[in-house]
Amino acid sequence: MKFLHRHRFSFLSARRFRAARAARCDRGAGVLDTLLNYIGLYAIVAIGLMLLTGIGGMTSFGQAAFVGVGAYATAFLTTQYAVSPWLALIAGVVITAFIALLLCLVTMRLSGHFLPLGTIAWGLSLFYLFGNMELLGKYDGINGIPVLSLFGWQLESGPTT
């Protein structure tokens, strides 16, 4: 009984937290889910930039192109070949690493100001390549991508109101 009396505030706080969370789910959970999706995506991009510039000491302006390669590879595999989205994510990383290795063999011979200019050129060329490919939906992108689920919880965007 002494334990419950001493930690009464903690139990009440936990009960209030659960009640507030249940109320949030009724009102605007979709907005929070969408926000958390964007935070996760941008965190992955920021970690990649930190590894490249902070640890690797290199400047690259083609980072977004590699994010696009991974996204298009994952979306293409899930929509065209009905691969599990989780396996397609892994395959997207492998495909992106392979394409990055191929581009690296050409680009790493550049130095000075030519290296950032070369990465800008690769980024623009991949942007226009993806935008003109009918297979990838041109500039509209790929539609009908299945929703990821994690332990029965659907990781989809909420309402955009």
Average pLDDT in the 87-116 region?
90
Distance CA 137, CA 144 (A): 11
Q: What is the pLDDT of residue 18?
A: 58
Residues 18-65 have pLDDT tens digits of 555 555 555 556 677 778 878 888 888 888 888 878 887 777 777 888
Kindly state the percentage of the chain with pLDDT values over 70.
78
Please give the pLDDT value at position 148. Answer: 79
DSSP state for residue 5 in the 8-state scheme: H
Residue 160: per-residue pLDDT:
53
Q: What percent of the chain has pLDDT over 90?
A: 20
How far are the Cα atoms of 12, 17, 99, 131 from residue 75, in angstroms, in the given order?
Answer: 45, 37, 17, 15
